[in-house]
């Protein structure tokens, strides 16, 4: 509480950091906090630095210096949530297949890959399922490979995760069975008393299912993003308003399971690694309202409409594939001039197929 009042009055992250450094030093001398001396001082210093960044972002958000949604004040992590400890150079070393951590000892992890260079820091992560991971920060050199295609536009969706401008489609894994199990266990958890062994057992079961979904999604997104980036020189995505979409209570859960933002982040990072061009077009581009062949604008379509025929050129389009082609054209700067053709109170497109037709 005293730190909070100090932060509110001084509004200085440097003062907060200095105060906490002193608090940690003094706390080690007390009986209640003497266990702080049993661990390395490096993770303690890193946690203080992270807290300083959190307060800086919080105050910048209050003053309007930080873009986006207003942030809340920093809060303590729960013991049952994910925990982490970061070690810098001097607090760890790698000896063969083992990793030495200061005041912990040698740890022999299962290596997922060979480190490309000497790491500058390592983070020990414990997730909700009580699994432990080591995450290293290393420098990598850009990989120079030839791309098969010049550019690729991608339209993201729910049933079909990604529709490419070249006609390819990527189906999302089915999370529905695991999601139903999570809902059932969450109802069971709500009726169990806090602090009981049964509640903790149920919590771990829920964490395992969440991790299974997250691992399946991460594996799918990594494989897809690697394929997309390695085969194309330019990758174009649409800037989706995910925070606005999840306000639709009927689609919120399905949208949250897809991982659109994670896919965008992976594509952007891998584009830098492979020397590719990554571009995100505006969310206001009418990609689903324009014919990708002639540029005729037929206007908004309902979500149930999955195929449409342009009455100007007669081309029949799959809705998502047409949007992907338009995303590709806008991203590469070769989009049609949609202003030259406007609706004048007449039908501009013929609905060919709706989502209800697919079920019959």
Q: Catalytic site residue 262?
A: no
Q: What is the pLDDT of residue 179?
A: 93
Q: Name residue, tokens 């995760």.
A: 161
Q: What is the pLDDT of residue 174?
A: 92
What whole-number distance in Å separates Cα of residue 104 and Cα of residue 38?
Answer: 9
Domain ranges of the chain: 1-66, 79-141, 150-278, 305-359
Q: Which residues pair with 169 in a beta bridge?
A: 163
Q: Which residues pair with 353 in a beta bridge?
A: 307
Residue of 155, 179, 231, 239 marked active site: 155
Structure tokens at 95: 């000896």
Compute CA distances 108 → 117, 121, 133, 283, whole Å: 19, 17, 11, 47
Q: What is the pLDDT of residue 262?
A: 94
3-class SS letters over the chain: CHHHHHHHHHCCHHHHHHHHHHHHHHHCCCCCCHHHHHCCHHHHHHHHHHHHHHHHHHHHHHHCCCCCCCCCCCCCCCCCCCEEEEEECCCEEEECCEEEECCCEEECCCCCCCCCCCCCEEEEEECCCCCEEEEEECCCCCCCCCCCEEEEEEEECCCEEEEECCCCEEECCCCHHHHHHHHHHHHHHHCCCCCCHHHHHHHHHHHHHHHHHHHHHHHHHHHHHHHHHHHEEEEEEECCCHHHHCCCCCCHHHHHHHCHHHHHHHHHHHHHHHCCEEEEECCCCCCCCECCCCCCECCCCCCCEEEEEECCCCCEEEHHHHHHHHHHHHHHCCCCCHHHCCCCCCCCEEEEEEHHHHHC
Answer for the pair 133, 127: CB distance below 8 angstroms, yes or no.
yes
Compute CA distances 288 → 261, 281, 318, whole Å: 21, 14, 10
Beta strands 277-281 and 232-238 are parallel
Q: Catalytic site residue 318?
A: no
Q: Catalytic site residue 155?
A: yes
> What dihedral do alpha carbons 217, 211, 92, 42 form, nearest 10°?
110
Residue of 320, 321, 357, 358 marked active site: 320
Answer for the pair 20, 2: CB distance below 8 angstroms, yes or no.
no
Q: What is the pLDDT of residue 9?
A: 40
pTM above 0.85, yes or no: no
Q: What is the pLDDT of residue 307?
A: 86
Q: What is the pLDDT of residue 355?
A: 58
Q: What is the pLDDT of residue 199?
A: 94
Residue of 60, 179, 238, 337 marked active site: 238
Q: What is the mean pLDDT of each run of 10 residues along the chain (360 residues)?
A: 42 58 78 86 86 89 86 86 91 94 94 92 92 93 86 92 93 93 95 93 94 95 95 93 86 91 95 92 88 83 82 84 91 60 44 51
Q: What is the pLDDT of residue 13?
A: 54
Q: Name residue, tokens 């992976």.
A: 266
């Amino acid at each position: 509480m005293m730190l909070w009042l100090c932060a509110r009055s001084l509004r200085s992250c440097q003062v907060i950091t200095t105060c906490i450094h002193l608090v940690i030093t003094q706390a080690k001398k007390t009986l209640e906090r003497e266990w702080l001396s049993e661990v390395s001082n490096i993770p303690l210093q890193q946690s203080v630095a992270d807290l300083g960044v959190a307060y800086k972002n919080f105050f910048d958000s209050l003053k309007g210096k930080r873009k986006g949604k207003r942030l809340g004040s920093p809060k303590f992590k729960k013991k049952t949530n994910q925990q982490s400890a970061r070690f810098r150079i001097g607090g760890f070393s790698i000896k063969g297949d083992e990793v030495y951590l200061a005041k912990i000892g040698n740890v022999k992890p299962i290596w997922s890959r060979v480190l490309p260079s000497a790491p500058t820091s390592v983070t020990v992560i414990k997730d909700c399922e009580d699994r432990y991971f080591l995450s290293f920060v290393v420098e990598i050199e850009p990989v120079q490979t030839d791309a098969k295609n010049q550019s690729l536009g991608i339209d993201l969706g729910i049933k079909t995760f990604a529709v490419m401008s070249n006609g390819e489609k990527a189906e999302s894994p089915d999370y529905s069975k695991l999601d139903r199990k999570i809902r059932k266990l969450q109802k069971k958890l709500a009726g169990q008393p806090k602090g009981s062994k049964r509640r903790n057992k149920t919590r771990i079961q829920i964490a395992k299912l969440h991790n299974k979904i997250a691992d399946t999604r991460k594996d799918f997104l990594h494989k897809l993003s690697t394929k997309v980036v390695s085969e194309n020189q330019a990758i174009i995505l649409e800037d989706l308003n995910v925070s606005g979409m999840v306000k639709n209570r009927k689609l919120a859960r399905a949208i949250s399971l897809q991982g659109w933002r994670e896919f965008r982040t992976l594509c952007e990072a891998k584009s830098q690694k492979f020397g590719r061009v990554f571009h995100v077009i505006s969310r206001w581009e009418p990609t689903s309202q324009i014919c990708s062949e002639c540029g005729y604008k037929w206007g908004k379509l309902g979500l149930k409409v999955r195929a449409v025929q342009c009455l100007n050129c007669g081309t029949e389009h799959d809705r998502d594939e047409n949007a992907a082609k338009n995303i590709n054209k806008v991203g590469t700067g070769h989009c049609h001039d949609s202003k030259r053709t406007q609706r004048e109170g007449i039908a501009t497109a013929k609905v060919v197929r709706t989502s209800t037709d697919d079920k019959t």
